[in-house]
Chains A and B, each alone.
Chain A
Amino acid sequence: DAKTTQPPSMDCAEGRAANLPCNHSTISGNEYVYWYRQIHSQGPQYIIHGLKNNETNEMASLIITEDRKSSTLILPHATLRDTAVYYCIVRLRSNDYKLSFGAGTTVTVRA
């Protein structure tokens, strides 16, 4: 699976958009970008995934660059409950049960 690089931490003001970057420069054509988050003392929670088109759901938006070497997860209106570790994961379609969690980005939403 392609390796991902995320900043170790970032702060965000409550009510503002949080933009979480992820680099995956070695991604191949059939690999998906997945985002999970883990709120303290809870299990990881699925957020969103995409292949090459931008995606949006009730939780977030995923913007994937045209060359697919990087992506951004957008939390449109961050709340204190969005404070968590966010993981960007690249997955092979053919080996799709593998979820390799890296260190992620610790996002702290401040009032």
Chain B
Amino acid sequence: DAGVIQSPRHEVTEMGQEVTLRCKPISGHNSLFWYRQTMMRGLELLIYFNNNVPIDDSGMPEDRFSAKMPNASFSTLKIQPSEPRDSAVYFCASSFNSGRIETQYFGPGTRLLVL
């Protein structure tokens, strides 16, 4: 089991540039989550997909952020345009949600630095 795979692991970009983060969930999982972690705010849920459909995007900070899940094995989180305050570690997590309690498994994260 390869676990949740995220790419890139590190990203350094300049303010105003577009940033795309990628996630491959664990095979067979039907739920996918994007989280952001900063020293100031800790771990925050940005968006939750179930069966490739966005269910809860209330944590997405603003219109500059968008997330897609075109199929069960791939998701992207895009920031356009990026700003220095977007610098954080972005985690993707997946789980199998059968309607009962579920366990989320996290990827290694993407460390984003916006200059």
Chain A residues engaging chain B, CB cutoff 8 angstroms: 32, 41-46, 49, 91, 93, 96-99, 101-103
Contact with A along B6-36 (1 / 0, CB 8 A): 0000000000000000000000000101000
A residues near B100, Cβ cutoff 8 Å: 93, 96
> Which chain A residue shows the least CB distance to B50?
A97
* Chain B residues in 8 Å Cβ range of A103: 42
The binding surface of chain A is classed by DSSP as loop
Known: A97-B31, A97-B48. A44 touches B101 (CB 8 A): no
- Interface residues, chain B, CB within 8 Å of chain A? 4, 31, 33, 42-43, 45, 48, 50, 55-56, 91, 93, 95, 97, 100-109
Partner of B101, one of A42, A45, A96: A96
Task: Tell me if B101 and A46 are in contact (CB < 8 A).
Answer: no
| In the complex, chain B residues whose CB is within 8 Å of the CB of A99 | 43, 45, 104
Select one of B48, B56, B91, B97 contacting A43, CB under 8 A: B91
B102 touching A42, Cβ below 8 Å: no
Min CB gap B75→A, angstroms: 15
Cα distance, A65 to B6, chains bound together (Å): 38
| CB atoms of A43 and B108 under 8 A apart | yes
B68–chain A nearest beta-carbon distance, Å: 18
- The CA-CA distance from A49 to B105 in the complex, in Å, is 14
- In angstroms, Cα B91 to Cα A86, docked, is 17
Chain A hits for B43, CB < 8 A: 44, 99, 101
Q: Is the CB of B107 within 8 A of A97?
A: no
Q: Is the CB–CB distance between A44 and B33 below 8 Å?
A: no
In the complex the two chains form, what is the Cα distance from A42 to B105 in whole Å? 12
